[in-house]
Structures are given as structure tokens and as C-alpha cells.
Amino acid sequence: MNIIDKYNKRAKKVDSLLCVGLDADFAKIPKRFLKKKFPQFEFNKWIIEETHEYAAAFKMNSAFYEARGDKGIKELKMTMDYLNKNYPDIFTILDAKRADIGNTNNGYVTAIFDWLNFDAVTLHPYLGKEALQPFLDRKDKGCIILCRTSNPGAGELQDLNVKHPMFDTRMPLWQIVAEKVSRDWNKNKNCLLVVGATYPKEMKKIRQIVGEMTFLVPGIGAQGGDLQATLKAGLNSKGLGLIIHSARGIIFSGNPKLEAQKLRDEIRKYK
């Protein structure tokens, strides 16, 4: 099965486009978990149990695990083993924003896709397709390329008006990334794009450029992105094509189950 089909299948099964972010920030997880032997894992297990029925995907940002050294990496792996064993149909994303020269990427590919067994990883486009080939070659896994990020300073580089590589015209760099990835890098139909919910106008343009491709959409919840505008701008012709992500807005809300359900319901309503 194509990796995007895995996401679509789960999204249809639970009628949800929600991705719950398991960003288990050690400074923020409730005190009762800190007494446990594996605090981040136990916290994640609780969040997974509270929210899985609403989730089409789970995403983990490796920063929050790397920050605890070998303990954090172990608990990241424990979380993935738990998800693979108990909820194998839920799409899993490691947010690590990797990318290096080709042979170094082989190490990332083995660690993220084979050892941790994530379905997809976030990647920088900056080194180009030739360098990313070890990721792109993995037909069974997803490559989620940063295109228009959600942060306020995203435009510093992404808005640079650059010459189109083939035509005598100029456009913002994020448009070139969208075009390149959809037309040239996506031979194995395993590429996705990161498009922040905080930039719905750009999302609409990117949807026009790339057709049916799937976007990972961070920026809902704590970053203030507009869900209704996001769905309007970003859904593809099949009513899919979006992985709507929220971490802090759900996991540190006091009632993760309720917040996940609310967001799932809002997605259904505006869809």
C-alpha cells in the first residue's frame, strides 16, 4: 500500500484529519508522570489512549526526546513500539527536519524508518533532490518537505523572489519548492509538504500548484492558525489532503480527550 493511502485509509475510517502532536515537553508534563520510571512514555501512552479514536495521525518532535539524552530516545522508541503494536493503522510522523548530503542521509533513513519504524519524516529541501534521494527512494515511507512553515519569520527566506528554473519569470521560493517537489521529487508518490495553518492564502496557492498532494499542517491551537480558512484553502478534490496538527493545544489542555474530540468535530463541521 502506498504510504499516503495508509493515511487516507485511517482518515476515512475515523472520519478525521486530526494529527495529535506527542511533543512531551518534560517541563510541562503533569507531575504525576514524573514519579514514573518512564515519564515521557507514560504521558504519551495516556495521551494516545485518550485521543486515538479521533486521530488519523500522531506526530512526535524529536527535540523533546533528544533533550533528555538516552532516556528520551529510549522513551521515543517505546512510544513508537506501543503505537505500532496497538494502533498500527494510525499514520506516524517523526518531526526531525532532517536532510544532509546523501550518504549521511542513509543513517537517518535507517534510524527513523527502520529502527524507530515511523511512516514519515519532516525534511528540509535546502540541499536539493540529489541529496534527499535516500529518503525519496523509500517508496514505503513518506517524505514531508518544508514548503511554507507556520512561524512568524517564515518569509525571511521563503518569500524571496527568485527566478524560475525553467521560465522567464520570478516567484517566491516557497512556490518553487511546491512546484519542484510535486513535479520532480514525487516520482514514488511518497512526498508531502509542510504548509502552516497560519498562512491560508499561501496554502490556497500551493493547492493550485500541486494538485492532490497531502499537506502536514501545523499551527492550529497554540500558534493561532484558523481552522476554517485552512480547510477552505487546503482540502483536495477528495476532501482529504490535509493532516491537521495540534500538540500543545491538546496535550497540555487539562482534558486532551475533550480537546481532541472538539477539534475532530470542528474539522468535520467545516469539511
Q: How far apart are CA 121 and CA 43, in angstroms?
A: 22
Q: Which amino acid is at 37?
A: K
Orientation of helix 227-234 relative to helix 200-210, angle to 10°: 20
Q: How far apart are CA 235 and CA 74, in angstroms?
A: 36
Q: In the complex, what is the shortest distance from the CB of residue 218 to ligand OMP, in angstroms, rounded to a whole number?
A: 3
DSSP bridge pairs for 20: 58, 246
Q: How far apart are CA 215 and CA 174, in angstroms?
A: 14
Q: In the complex, what is the shortest distance from the CB of residue 199 to ligand OMP, in angstroms, rounded to a whole number?
A: 9
Whichever of 109 and 222 has its CB closer to ligand OMP, that residue is 222
Whichever of 200 and 249 has its CB closer to ligand OMP, that residue is 249
**Is residue 125 classed as helix, strand or coil in its secondary structure?**
coil
Q: Which amino acid is at 172?
A: P
Q: In the complex, what is the shortest distance from the CB of residue 122 to ligand OMP, in angstroms, rounded to a whole number?
A: 4
The catalytic position among 71, 97, 204, 271 is 97
Q: Enumerate binding residues for ligand OMP (CB under 6 A).
A: 21, 23, 61, 95, 122, 149-151, 194, 196, 218, 221-223, 245-249
The residue to which cell 533533550 is assigned? 67
Whichever of 39 and 219 has its CB closer to ligand OMP, that residue is 219
Residue number of the CB atom closest to ligand OMP: 149
Q: In the complex, what is the shortest distance from the CB of residue 247 to ligand OMP, in angstroms, rounded to a whole number?
A: 3
Active site residue 204: no
Please give the angle made by the CA atoms of 97, 103 and 104, to the nearest 5 degrees. 40
Whichever of 11 and 195 has its CB closer to ligand OMP, that residue is 195
The catalytic residues are 97
